[in-house]
């Protein structure tokens, strides 16, 4: 007994080796079922195998994720650049489309008013002290532009030339408070004295007997000499009686939105 206690570890190893050799021998002969020792060993090893398998899969996936980070970053940067380029192209397309629309509109006006001669121009700057009431165009005396020439769009009257240099000209919009001219109501033929007003509107004054009313269209009269005749000025928004005065106040919505102008026509 003492000898067995002293050599029990060796005996256990010998017993295990005997069981394994016996199992291998029996397995090599072919059979339908495993032995009890094999089943015990398999049952004990199987959970460990699963742990080792899932651990290896996790490590593999994590390593793949880390190695692909640089590739994903590069692809993301490339996609962001493509999106940026696309936005620029889309902006350029929208700009060209709008300019093409404006130029077609100007050509249409020229066809409808073939009795005039025109000089086309584009806005190059705006007077910061006056908003959109005064702006500069890229046509001047070298192009035949002169002071007091009428500036228009297809929609109607824009303003008049007030200063001219060799390559540029300054335009005073009809909405400026210093702009004063005459108009005529299409429906009633009432004459209207017009001046610019705040918030891009126009103020007109007519006799108290005038039949002008909201919805009427007002054209240039051609009597003042500042503007050519029969160019659309705008639409009457309302007519107000002024207490103690001999004239009625006419509020007019300009036909042209001066704050959105890019290209214009100058009538010689």
pLDDT in tens, 103-162: 565 566 666 667 778 898 999 998 777 777 899 999 999 999 999 999 998 889 999 999
Structural domains counted in the chain: 2
Do 84 and 130 lie in one domain? The reply is: no
Res 28: pLDDT: 47
* Residue at a domain's end among 112, 140, 164: 112
Tell me, yes or no, whether 134 and 258 share the same domain. yes
Shared domain for 124 and 98, answered yes or no, is no
Of the segments 48-52, 54-58, 100-104, 230-234, which one has the largest average pLDDT value? 230-234
In degrees rounded to 5, what are phi and psi of residue 37?
A: -60, -40
The pLDDT score that the predictor gives to residue 239 is 94
- Chosen domain end from 78, 93, 112: 112
Q: Looking at the structure, do residues 240 and 144 belong to the same domain, yes or no? A: yes
pLDDT tens digits along 21-39: 555 455 545 455 555 554 5
CA distance 7 to 117: 123
What pLDDT, on the 0 to 100 scale, is given for residue 174? 94
Specify if 33 maps to a domain: no
pLDDT of 237 over the 90 cut: yes
pLDDT for the residue numbered 182: 93
- Let me know if residue 6 belongs to a domain: no
CB neighbours of 181 closer than 8 A, spacing ≥ 6?
Answer: 174, 194, 220, 224, 226, 227
Same domain, 134 and 99: no
Q: Which of 78, 112, 146 is the last residue in one of the domains? A: 112
Q: What is the CATH number of the domain that holds 241?
A: 2.40.10.340
166: CB partners within 8 A, 6+ apart: 140, 141, 142
Determine the straight-line distance between the first and last CA of the chain, rounded to whole angstroms: 132
Give the three-class secondary structure for 115: coil
At residue 163, the pLDDT reads 94
Q: Which domain holds residue 90?
A: 50-112
Whether 163 and 256 map to the same domain: the answer is yes
pLDDT band at residue 69 under the 50/70/90 scheme: low
256 and 132 within one domain: yes
Which helix (H) or strand (E) segment holds residue 238: the answer is strand 232-241
Where residue 222 falls among pLDDT bands split at 50, 70, 90? Answer: confident
Mean pLDDT score across all residues of the chain: 77
Do 143 and 168 fall into the same domain? Answer: yes
User: pLDDT band at residue 41, thresholds of 50, 70 and 90?
Assistant: very low
83 and 130: one domain? Answer: no
Does residue 165 share a domain with residue 90? Answer: no
Phi, psi (degrees; rounded to nearest 5) at 213: -150, 175
Split at pLDDT 50, 70, 90, the class of 78 is confident
For residues 108 and 154, is the Cβ–Cβ distance under 8 A?
yes
Q: Tell me, yes or no, whether 268 and 234 share the same domain.
A: yes
Model confidence at 201: pLDDT above 70: yes
Look at residue 197 in the predicted model and tell me its pLDDT. 87
67 and 180 in a common domain: no
Q: What percent of the chain has pLDDT over 90?
A: 37
Of 103-112, 128-137, 172-181, 229-238, the least confident:
103-112
User: What pLDDT does 263 receive?
Assistant: 87
């Amino acid at each position: 007994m003492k000898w067995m206690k002293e050599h029990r570890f060796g005996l256990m190893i010998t017993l295990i080796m005997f069981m394994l050799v016996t199992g291998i021998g029996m397995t090599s002969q072919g059979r339908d079922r495993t032995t009890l020792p094999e089943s015990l060993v398999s049952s004990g090893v199987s959970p460990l195998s699963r742990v080792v398998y899932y651990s290896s899969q996790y490590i593999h996936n994590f390593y793949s994720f880390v190695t692909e980070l640089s590739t994903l970053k590069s692809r993301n940067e490339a996609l962001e650049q493509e999106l940026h380029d696309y936005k620029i192209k889309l902006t350029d397309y929208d700009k060209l489309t709008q300019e093409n629309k404006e130029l077609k509109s100007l050509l249409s006006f020229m066809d409808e008013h073939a009795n005039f001669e025109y000089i086309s121009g584009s806005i190059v700057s705006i007077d910061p002290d006056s908003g959109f009431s005064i702006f500069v165009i890229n046509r001047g005396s070298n192009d035949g532009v002169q002071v007091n020439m009428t500036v228009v769009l297809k929609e109607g009257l824009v303003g008049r030339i007030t200063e001219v240099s060799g390559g540029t000209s300054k335009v005073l919009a009809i909405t400026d408070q210093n702009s004063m001219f005459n108009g005529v109501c299409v429906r009633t033929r009432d004459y209207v004295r017009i001046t610019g007003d705040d918030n891009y509107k126009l103020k007109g004054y007519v006799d108290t007997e005038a039949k002008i009313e909201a919805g009427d269209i007002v054209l240039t009269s051609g009597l003042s000499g500042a503007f050519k005749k029969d160019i659309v000025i705008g639409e009457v928004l309302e007519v107000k009686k002024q207490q103690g005065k001999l004239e009625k106040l006419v509020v007019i919505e300009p036909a042209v939105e001066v704050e959105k102008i890019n290209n214009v026509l100058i009538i010689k």
